[in-house]
Structure 1
Amino acid sequence: MQGRNSDMITFQYEMEGFLLKIDYWVHQLRMHQFDAFPLLKAHFASYPPDAYSLDLFTTHLSEMKVLIREYFPPLREYENEWVISPFNAVVVHNAQMETNLQHQLFGLSVNLRMKAEYSTRTVSQFWVSLKDKYPQLSSQAMRSLMPFPTSYLCELGFSTVKFLKNEYRNRLQNIESDLMLAINSNIQPNIERLVNEK
């Protein structure tokens, strides 16, 4: 669930899948099926499970699900699903947005060239590529993708600083520029805009 191409929507779907697994595990434990827990299955082969142990395991899993749900509230159906399924007619029709954005999304959803392009890129790359043709729609999609769901970039930053300020390069005084470049190496600068602003 980490990496440069992580986004909040995908992360939420993965969390929903994990919560479904917890429900499945609780059900399996109650049915005395331990295939999902190989070490527990091996232990119970030698020492048969008692009701107290099984209750302890199921209670722990249920409480863990409650705690996870506090941090990750359930998804509202169709809220931002259009961002990752812009060519699904049901999703597009049920998207909740301003009328002009809805019309743009309708036009995009039937564009076969864009659909082919979508299949060759990450979700973020696809929406960035539409910033000229569908600026408002692209901007709205990027707002839902932007929040970083993990601490990946922070950890990457610390590792980069450690590399930049190692014993061989310890005389560097100002590493901000090098750090930004190292962390955001997948972001392409808009050279034309930078030149025009000079």
Structure 2
Amino acid sequence: MFQDDVFEELVQYLTSMRASFEKYFPEEQNTKMKLNSWIHNPFLPNLQKPESMSNEIYESLLEMSSDTSMESWFKTTPLNDFWCRIRDEDPMLGKMALNILLPFPTTYLCETGFSTYAATKTKYRNRLDAEPDTAETSAVFYQT
């Protein structure tokens, strides 16, 4: 009897958790990730052309994917750094990749700045005491 109640409670909890995951990670996002797999590894064999990509950009992607020096550099650098370098060499391809990797750069920069600001407003801020430093500095100025 008790085990049945626990089991039912567990099933209900896991069902609600799954619904929550589906809310935050919808299936269409997984499909979008598969369509943009060229960004995560442009050196995969048999790269398929995404619908949103022009033929010119696709040709640039194919040229880049056949370059062995680029492939070795891709394996040793972070993804964002790699695409920033590609943006310097092939602006259209790099821009397309970076727009997909970082769709809202201003939001990211704003949140990063706010986090830095919030870190200075902690309870530890109250422990900062600049008065002894300014007293020493002002004493040096008055002596000279």
TM-score, normalising length: structure 2 = 0.68
CA distance in 2, matches of 1:49, 1:104: 64
Instruction: Check if 1:62 corresponds to 2:15.
Output: yes
Aligned to 1:110: 66
Identity of aligned residues (%): 27
Aligned to 2:90: 134
CA distance in 1, matches of 2:63, 2:15: 44
The structure in which a higher percent of residues are helix is 2
CA distance in 1, matches of 2:6, 2:87: 56
- 1:90-139 deviation per Cα after TM superposition (whole angstroms, max 9, x unaligned): 3x225332111111111111110000010111111100011122111100
Instruction: Check if 1:51 corresponds to 2:7.
Output: no
Output the amino acid matched with 2:8: D
Pairwise CA distance, 1:169: 8.9
Instruction: Check if 1:93 corresponds to 2:55.
Output: no
Whether the aligned pair in 2 keeps the contact of 1:87 and 1:109 (CA below 8 Å) is yes
Q: Which runs of 5+ in 2 are unaligned?
A: 131-144
Q: Which runs of 5+ in 1 are unaligned?
A: 1-47, 171-198
- 1:140-198 deviation per Cα after TM superposition (whole angstroms, max 9, x unaligned): 000111146xx98666534522565746599xxxxxxxxxxxxxxxxxxxxxxxxxxxx
Q: Which has the larger radius of gyration?
A: 2
The number of residue pairs the alignment matches comes to 120
**CA RMSD in angstroms, aligned pairs only:** 3.0
Q: Which moved more, 1:54-63 or 1:130-139?
A: 54-63
Instruction: Check if 1:122 corresponds to 2:86.
Output: no
Output the amino acid matched with 1:61: L
Among candidates 21, 35, 40, match of residue 84 of structure 1? 40
Secondary structure of the residue that 2:48 maps to in structure 1? Answer: helix
Output the amino acid matched with 2:93: L
Pairwise CA distance, 1:55: 2.2
TM-score, normalising length: structure 1 = 0.51
CA distance in 2, matches of 1:68, 1:83: 24
Whether the aligned pair in 1 keeps the contact of 2:49 and 2:58 (CA below 8 Å) is no
Aligned to 2:139: none
Aligned to 1:144: 100
The 1:169/1:103 distance shift into structure 2, 3 A limit, reads farther
Q: Which of the pair has the greater relative contact order for Cα pairs under 8 Å at 6+ separation? A: 1
The 1:49/1:159 distance shift into structure 2, 3 A limit, reads same
Output the amino acid matched with 1:71: Y
